[in-house]
Chains A and B, each alone.
Chain A
Amino acid sequence: MEKKERLKAFYDKYLSPLLRHKVFSLALLLIAMVIMFTVWAELQGRGNHFFKATTLRNILNSLVVSSFLAIGAGSLLIAGHIDLSQSAVGAFGGIMLATAVARWNLPWFAGIVISLLLCAVFGALNGVLVNKYRFPSFIGTLAMASMAKGLMFLFSSIGNNGLATNIVFQNDPLSFIGMGRIGPVPFGVIVMLLFFLAYGLLISKAKFGMKVSLIGGNPIAAHLAGINSTVITYLLFMNSAVLGGVAGIFNTARLGQGALVALQTSQFTGITAAILGGISFGGGAGGMGGAFIGLLILNTFQIGMGVVGVNPDWVNVFTGLLLLIALCVDFVAQRRVSKA
């Protein structure tokens, strides 16, 4: 009897608050998923193994490009905005890097700087639309996405008889950025983890992050309490575009060419992962840890499905289902909080 009570006390004190923590429950989901795929692959008995070092590396490596999108999109979502132009601007940045290196014969770092600066301009324009002209961010950024895409095609056609093409190049530093490893760890994975760490601290511990959440919670109250939402909104839109550019750069560096179809499939990956990780669609809640685990769940699921040999078309259907389930859990949890 006494033991039972002690267990209950232990549960109330340590486990129950943990369970209520979004990141923790997502981590449990991830572990369940790993166990499921491991058992599934072993049961098939075809010599496929899910649980091994290369799978982990593959999963982490596959996160790199979309992680930058998720960080940028997540920070904006917390402030109550959405950026639909992010992947188009990122693809534009990727093409700009290839153009600078292959056509203008600039060094790789100059290409990166030019590409990121141009992305920042797009972000600033998004900021102008939302801040100055009061466009809903959904509409303004959609228009910007179309412009970025058009400009990308135009740029890739310059000096090629007006024909838009992929731009191939050979550049050692860039291929290190894309494919290189430091020890056993891919370079991109290291950069990704550093970014998650830095943005995680910025959002959940820094003054800036506190302001971002409050703006997302109630922009009017934040303004009247003296938080400069205009400046912060500009910064977040520029940040989203620049991180889109970073994703574009990694993508270009990996492929060894500026591809016109770059990031097309990632258009919603960033936003999806952020929401999966508990960043509220209405703003004001969530953090980078959740976005990271959201991304991890998404990609583990897709790669795991590949290992056990599920038809890729079904994988898309199941990914949609997974997102629905995650949103339902989030919704139910939120309802419980608001009733309490």
Chain B
Amino acid sequence: MEKSLEFKGIGKSYPGVRALDGISFKAEGGKVVALLGENGAGKSTLLKIMSGDQQADAGSVWLNGEEVHFPEPQAAITAGVSVIYQERQLIPTMSVMENMFPGALPKTKFGLFDKKRLRREAAEIIDKFGLPIDPAEEVGRLNVAYQQMVEIMKAYRRDSQVIAFDEPTAPLTDAEINILFDIIRRLKDEGKVVIYVSHRLAEIFQVTDEIVVLKDGQMVKTLNTAETNEQELIRAMVGRDIGDTYANLSRNEDFGEVILEVKNLTTPYIKDVSFTMRRGEVVGFAGLVGAGRTEVARALFGADPVISGEIILDGKPVAFKSPRDAIDHGIALCPEDRKEQGLTLRTSIINNVAMSVIDMLGKSIFVDQTQKAAIANSAVEKYSIKTPTIEKTVMELSGGNQQKVILGRWTNEKMTTKILVLDEPTKGIDVGTKAELYQRVCDFAKQGLAVMFISSELTEVINLADNIVVMHNGHVTGMVPRQDATEEDVLAMAMLD
């Protein structure tokens, strides 16, 4: 019997949003099928329906030629459908083998759990995958990549016929990505149905055989990976040809005076960091993860203690004791982790936009509701945030729209932002929204803001920023203007000791 997973006319609505509409395609065993689309295109919703986390309003799911219903995740797992999410579903304090056999620990004849057999069976699977993992190791001690492998082996152990990956490479290094791809190819060779969701086009060409493109909850087209190219995919995803994103940017050409001068800044995490920023300038911060770029931003923002060095803002030396202090001096920070550090997810858009200026909403001790609604409405309008009302909780928005809520907060009418710090603003955001965000960054610069742009995507930093500061191990290792920057040079400085 040929393995397959087929969707027939799947539809799903949330209040005010049609998340999926008439999705029909068939994923066959022995092939890797990519799900591609912008944020909010419906990929996550489709995965959730596949895993039994949510139920479709219309249409049906067919597994190996039979119609199936997954009222809950356990039903999908029992039927042999596993979804590997970005957020690990592992218990970090338990061992690898215990995590691989949840609820199915082998027992001895006395009914106690058989540790030897468990270890042997776990080791067999680990060997099959060719991974250097000790079955008795605590999962929390493994690095992210191996944790992900444990998750995959858990699905494999359950003899899942369908394995779906949701943005699996986001936290991985290049070497780790290669291990993952080997495993995906192995699953494919064993005839399993593999579904692969990713924003990274290069990867899609590396591992997938077919591509299903979604847009606004509808299927745009199904393509053979071998017969298409990046341009065609981007066109299909965004519905327009974005061409060379960077060449088409309308940039700010004239810079103002120096607004920020950082001299020999030292904190517990960074050492001797010096750089300057001018009005209207985009300063990129390149470097590897952990190079200290986020820490420079935090020190500037009054969130980390400063040991020595100087911060000179508008010609005056400053020392911020708290983020509030920095905000009042015109510095704004969009933190690296939107959900953990940037937003109050269960709260409305309106409160998330207004939270930096609460004390400015009217003169009395009470919040002026009209003013509050006005700044939220203008943020929704300015950034075309997709939402039926400003009362909607931020949790219900897509990643790109959540990022826009934070931008709306820092650029609302009551703020006097002079320096905007963006820490990994394009993380988890799709190609179309990225291009939109790049233009926004240039627009901020045109309005006279100095923008500090931190990103781990090298191409992005060296093409967007006017000047690039390269960091390694808490130090600044180089500074280059865009005209002179090449990926090779910047990478060398980022890795140089």
**B349-371 toward A: CB 8 Å interface, digit per residue (1/0)?**
00100111011010001110000
Q: Which residues of B contact A217 (CB under 8 A)?
A: 344-347
Q: A207's contact among B366, B395, B409, by CB below 8 Å, is which? A: B366
Task: Find chain B residues with CB under 8 A from A337 CB.
Answer: 393
B358 & A210 in contact (Cβ 8 Å cutoff) = yes
- CB contact under 8 A between A206 and B355, given known A217-B347, A284-B347: no
Alpha-carbon separation in the docked complex, A338 to B48 (Å): 14
Chain A: which residue is nearest B17 at the CB level?
A340
User: Roughly how many angstroms separate A207 CA and B345 CA in the complex, as a whole number?
Assistant: 19
Contact A207 B335, CB 8 Å, known A228-B324, A284-B346: no
A222 within 8 A of B: yes
* B80 interface contact, C-beta 8 A: no
**Is there a chain B Cβ closer than 8 Å to A213's Cβ?**
yes
Q: Are B14 and A227 in contact (CB under 8 A)?
A: no
Which of A205, A208, A226, A337 has the most chain B CB atoms inside 10 A of its CB? Answer: A226
What chain B residues lie within 8 Å of A220 (beta carbons)? 340-341
Instruction: Report which of B355, B366, B367 forms a contact with A225, defined as CB distance below 8 A.
Output: B355
- Contacting A340 at CB < 8 Å: which of B333, B396, B409? B396
Q: How far is the CB of A25 from chain B (nearest CB, A)?
A: 19
List residues of chain A with CB within 8 A of the CB of B327.
225-226
Closest CB-CB distance, B466 to chain A, in whole Å?
Answer: 26
| Cβ contact within 8 Å between A226 and B347 | no
Give A220-244 as 1s and 0s: 1 = Cβ < 8 Å from B's Cβ atoms: 1111111110000000000000000
> Which among B341, B345, B358, B409 has the highest number of chain A CB atoms within 10 Å?
B358
Any chain A CB within 8 A of the CB of B322? yes
Task: Let me know if A226 and B367 touch, CB within 8 A.
Answer: no
| Interface residue from A205, A214, A338 paired with B351 (Cβ < 8 Å) | A214
Using known A-B contacts A206-B367, A214-B351, determine if residue A225 contacts B356 with beta carbons closer than 8 Å.
yes
Query: Which of A205, A218, A222, A228 has a CB less than 8 Å from the CB of B367?
Result: A205
CB pair A222 B395 closer than 8 Å: no
Pairwise interchain contact B54-A214, C-beta atoms closer than 8 A: no
Q: Is B238 an interface residue (CB 8 A)?
A: no
- CB-defined interface of A181-223 with B at 8 Å, one 1/0 digit per residue? 0000000000000000000010001111011011001101111
Q: Contacts A223-B323, A224-B323, A284-B346: A207 and B359 contacting too (C-beta < 8 A)?
A: yes
**A285 interfacial contact with B, CB 8 Å:** yes
Q: Given A226-B356, A340-B15, is A207 in contact with B341 using a C-beta cutoff of 8 Å?
A: no
Q: Is the CB of A206 within 8 A of B323?
A: no
Q: Are A225 and B345 in contact (CB under 8 A)?
A: no
| Contact partners of A225 in chain B: CB under 8 A | 323, 327, 355-356, 409
With a CB–CB cut-off of 8 A, which chain A residues contact B342?
221, 224
Task: Verify if B105 is at the interface (C-beta below 8 Å from A).
Answer: no
B303 at the interface (CB under 8 A from A): yes
Supposing A224-B333, A224-B341, A224-B342 touch, asked if A210 and B409 sit within 8 A by C-beta, the answer is no
- Determine the chain A residues whose CB is within 8 A of the CB of B361 once the complex forms: 207
Interface residues of B in 135-190 (CB under 8 A from A): none
B343 CB within 8 Å of chain A: yes
CA A309 to CA B59, docked complex, whole Å: 56
Please pick, from B14, B343, B358, B359, the residue contacting A218 in the complex, using a CB distance under 8 A: B343
Cβ-based interface call for A339 (8 A): yes
Residue of B nearest to A334 (CB): B346
* B341 touching A214, Cβ below 8 Å: no
Task: Looking at the assembled complex, report how far the CB atom of B115 sits from the nearest CB atom of chain A, in whole angstroms.
Answer: 34
Q: Which of B347, B361, B396 has the most CB of A within 10 A?
A: B347
Report chain B residues within 8 Å CB of A223: 303, 323
Whole-angstrom CA separation of A223 from B393 in the bound complex = 20
Task: Tell me which residues from 68 to 125 in chain A have a Cβ below 8 Å from any Cβ of chain B.
Answer: none
Contact B358 A227 (CB under 8 A): yes
Q: How far is the CB of A9 from chain B (nearest CB, A)?
A: 17
> Judging by beta carbons under 8 Å apart, are B324 and A218 in contact?
no
A211-B358, A218-B343, A224-B301 given. 16 additional CB < 8 A pairs? A201-B366, A206-B365, A207-B361, A207-B366, A208-B365, A210-B354, A214-B347, A214-B355, A217-B347, A220-B341, A221-B342, A223-B323, A225-B327, A226-B323, A226-B324, A338-B395
Q: List 28 A-B contacts (CB under 8 A).
A: A207-B358, A207-B359, A207-B367, A210-B355, A210-B358, A210-B367, A213-B351, A217-B346, A218-B340, A218-B344, A221-B340, A221-B341, A221-B355, A223-B303, A223-B323, A224-B333, A224-B342, A225-B355, A226-B323, A226-B327, A226-B328, A227-B355, A228-B322, A284-B344, A284-B346, A285-B346, A337-B393, A338-B395
